[in-house]
Each structure stands twice: as C-alpha cells, then as structure tokens.
Amino acid sequence: MGRMFKALIIVPILVIRVPAHAEGIDFQECKSSECISYQQPVTTKTDTLSDLYSIPSFRAIDVRQPHQSLESLYDVAPNAQQELEDLAHQIADHVDGTVYSAGIKGEVRAKQKVEGELGGDASQLTDIVRVTVEVDSVDALTTAYAELAASAQTKEVINRFHAPRPSGYRDLKVLVALPETQMIAEVQLHLKKIADIKNGQEHEIYREIQKIERTATLEKRELSEHEFAKINRLRQTSRALYDHAWQAYQPLSMAV
C-alpha cells in the first residue's frame, strides 16, 4: 500500500494548451485542484511603444520609379494616386484612422525638384503620389504600418519616433512600390496630437523663423544676435509643444 501511494503521488498532471483554431476537441470541466489556469498576456502601452521603436529606418539600394521621364510618370500618376488612396482607406478603416491626400504633386514643382535636386533624373522623384494616414494611438500606428508593409513592397522607412527631428517632430515616413502600377509612393503615418501641432502652432512658428531668415538674406547680412536668440526661443517653443503632445501617448511611468 505504501509503494502504491508513492507511485501515485509522483505521476505528473499533464495540461495541454490547445490552439484557439483547433476543432473537434472534447473538453471536460475539471476541479480547480486538478487544473492549472493560464492567462493571456495583456498588451500595454510600453509593449506598443517597443514595437514602434523597433521599426527600423532603412533605404533600399536603388529606389527608382518604373519610368524615366516626367511625362511617362504623370501618365501613370492618376491611376497610381487612386491605387494609393484606396489602399490607405482600407488600412485606415481597420485602425479608426483618417486619410488625408494632397493629390498628385504639381508638375511645375516636380520639374524644379528633378532639375535642381535630382540631377535631371526623374526616376528618383518618389513623392509624385502621396498620402497621409492619421491615427490617435501608438497601437493603431504600428498596425497601420504592418498592414502597409504587408500590402506593398517597402522601399524606405524613416522612423522619426526613434530619432525625432531637432524640433521634436515625430512620424513614420514610408516609401512603397504599389503592387499594380509599380509606382513609388510616399505614405506618412501620423499621430493626431502631433499632426495638430504641425498643422497649427508649429506652422506659425516655422513661418516666423522663415521671415526672420529671409529678411537677413534679402539684406545680404548675417543674423543679428537678437534675431538668432529669437529663432532659438521659437525652436525651443516648438520642441516643447511636440514633446508635450508625444507624452500623451506614453505610459505615465515614462512621461516626463
């Protein structure tokens, strides 16, 4: 009897976790003393921030449009812009986001950029078709990026959440090759509170800085000490606005 008792107490209880998608399994209710309960991990703001920070910035070796001339690019651009906006709306619907489109880049500005910045190579012009998707949570932003990357070939990512601009501005800027037209398109993924600053108070600050710098340029002189100090104060104000907006998306333990 003693040996039988010892044998019984060393037999382990095997608990099998069955995937949620499994079918045809006959479950039997067991007493609490015979079962081990499992709880799925809860996703936190810290988890979603880690996901956002882990998105790497990169650029493919050779990012070029499928056409060499501006004329050919603008022949395809309307279809490409529609393809991009359709994709953006599909993603936005999944994350409760909003799509903003400035439409196709103006041909005059495009020609100036090709000749002045791209050495006459129109195939390097990657923002003829562009769109913005705006969301209001880090989780929605990372989900939107994941869906975009799964739907089109990613050519470049600039993660300004990982490395913000000196002004404090943060976003995800992504270049993708659209699956149907093969056009390279620019997609900006924004957080709403940061976008509100960019399109409101920070825009006014930017215009004021430009005015000060333009005046000095027209008068063919260096900035005065007073002007230099004013620009620094304006930039500090801009940084504070962006940092405050960004804190709203962080866990309380991380906000500063």
Tell me the per-residue pLDDT of 136-153, one tens digit each, with 9 for 90 and over. 999 999 999 999 999 999
In what order do the strands lie in the sheet containing 129-135?
58-59, 153-159, 172-177, 184-191, 129-135, 98-100
Do residues 118 and 207 both lie within one domain?
Answer: no
Whole-model pTM: value is: 0.76
Do residues 102 and 185 both lie within one domain?
Answer: yes
Query: Is 255 a member of any domain?
Result: no
Residues in contact with 77: Cβ distance below 8 Å, sequence separation at least 6, in sequence order: 104, 128, 129, 183
- pLDDT, tens digit (0-9, with 9 covering 90-100), for 187-234: 999 999 999 999 999 999 999 999 999 999 999 999 999 999 999 999
**pLDDT at residue 77 tops 80:** yes
Query: Is 14 a member of any domain?
Result: no
DSSP string, 225-256: HHHHHHHHHHHHHHHHHHHHHHHTTS-TTT--
**pLDDT at residue 53 tops 60:** yes
Residue whose token pair is 């019984």:
8
Do residues 100 and 187 both lie within one domain?
Answer: yes
Cα-flanking dihedrals φ and ψ of residue 45, to 5°? -60, -35
* Element housing 213 (H / E): helix 201-218
Per-residue tokens: 135: 């969301």
For every residue of 81-130, which 3-state class applies, written as one string?
A: HHHHHHHHHHHHHHHCCEEECCCCCCHHHHHHHHHHHCCCCHHHCCCCEE
Number of independent structural domains in the chain: 2
Query: Is 36 a member of any domain?
Result: no
Query: Is 6 a member of any domain?
Result: no
Query: Is 76 a member of any domain?
Result: yes
Q: Which of 35-49, 96-110, 118-132 has the lowest mean pLDDT?
A: 35-49
Range of the domain at 238: 200-247
Cα-flanking dihedrals φ and ψ of residue 155, to 5°? -110, -30
